[in-house]
Structure 1
Amino acid sequence: MEALFICSKCGQPFESKWPASVRSRLKKNGAVYCSKACYATKHGAWSNESKYHSEYKSWVAMKGRCSNPGCSHYERYGGRGITYEKGWNDFNEFLKDMGPKPDRKMELDRIDNDGNYCKENCRWATRKEQTRNRGGRRATRLYTFEGKTMCISDWAAEVGISPQSMQKRLNNNWPLEKAFSKERHDKKGSTHVKPKDQN
């Protein structure tokens, strides 16, 4: 039976008979290689010792999501027509366009969730930034006030209240100047005034 695999070194998909032919390719760490040349390469951007190992893993994952129907996330990417620019078949070209990750915990993110993977539409983003940028029913609404554009959770942190409280303010149709004000308000949006000391 023919099965589709992704080479752990070059990231290229390849077909091989399962399980007979793959047994000879499969290594103890679960890696599988499309050729002896890929397996023989012990140094480079893909090795654990390389400073670009994290970027390489993101590159391989991107290619799998777009071109491997066996990938668990293929339906959300390649399955709906998302692909990557041809030059990014080469890891070195990908790294030249994207540059190193500013932080190793960052992940490859598309700015436009309906666009392809390319230099103009990709960035290194934190998990929090990725969550805000997700499309579909989980899309995040942004609010602009006094030159700042932020989501509800960020406005809540700015004001000093919980995201739930901020959501209630907006659901109750508070004007933005009151909803995003750092002054204390009652449930109707009126400014809370501290009573004067009585003598």
Structure 2
Amino acid sequence: MPGHYDHRSDLCRRLGADSLQKVPEYLVWIRMRNRCSDPERKRYAGRGISVCARWQSSFEAFLDDMGPRPSQRHSIDRIDNNGNYEPGNCRWAVPVVQANNKSSNHLVTYRGEEMSLRDAVRAAGDVVGKATVWRRLLRDWPVHKAVETPANPKCRNHRFEVRRKAA
């Protein structure tokens, strides 16, 4: 949809720097640039993650490429977590999508598909808690058995999971 966001670019020209502070995407752009310019930020600049030159120098270019944020729940997400902030590698995503895209996630192959451990538990119908599945995997259970086998009702951890689900 080229040109679809032209009204936002026009907005940038009409608004001064003070008014831009009120545009939610502007704050996302500022924070993204700050994360990638501070070498103390180990998960960003400290890992070599950078902002492409087009976005680094122009909020308008960032907004033209990304478009408006679909809702307040959405934030910027890098599709390839090891890639840079650039067109084609960024999207607006809700927290659950971003949580599955973290470099610290434990990925498993379940039913022939690579997914986060939490997604595998969900796909199996939440018959057992993630902590139980994790312990089972540490004891070399196959993934499908770890997520599909209900917890032993006599087990102390199972009772905790039942209480947690009821809350």
Name the TM-score class by shorter chain. Answer: 0.5 to 0.7
Q: Please say if 1:113 is aligned against 2:81.
A: yes
2:111 counterpart letter in structure 1: E
1:178 to partner: Cα distance = 2.1
What's the TM-score, normalizing by structure 2? Answer: 0.64
- State, as a whole percentage, how many aligned pairs show the same letter: 36
Change (3 A) 1:169 1:97: same
Partner Cα distance (2:152, 2:46) in 1: 50
Change (3 A) 1:128 1:101: same
Change (3 A) 1:161 1:90: same
Change (3 A) 1:82 1:177: closer
Partner Cα distance (1:127, 1:107) in 2: 8
Q: Which structure features the higher share of helix residues?
A: 2
Unpaired stretches in structure 1, ≥5 consecutive residues = 1-39, 188-199
Change (3 A) 1:77 1:178: closer
What's the TM-score, normalizing by structure 1? Answer: 0.55
Change (3 A) 1:122 1:146: same
Per-residue Cα deviation, 1:137-157 (whole angstroms, up to 9, x for no partner):
xx2122222244432223333
Counterpart among 162, 170, 181 of residue 137 in structure 2: 170
Corresponding residue for residue 65 of structure 2: 97
Task: Count how many residue pairs are aligned between Structure 1 and Structure 2.
Answer: 137
Change (3 A) 1:169 1:118: same
Corresponding residue for residue 121 of structure 2: 156
1:47 to partner: Cα distance = 4.5
1:163 to partner: Cα distance = 1.0
1:61 counterpart letter in structure 2: R
Per-residue Cα deviation, 1:97-154 (whole angstroms, up to 9, x for no partner):
112222212222223333221012212223343344333xxx2122222244432223
**Which deviates further from its counterpart, 153-162 or 93-102?**
153-162
Corresponding residue for residue 62 of structure 1: 32
Higher RCO structure, 1 or 2 (CA under 8 Å, sep 6+): 2
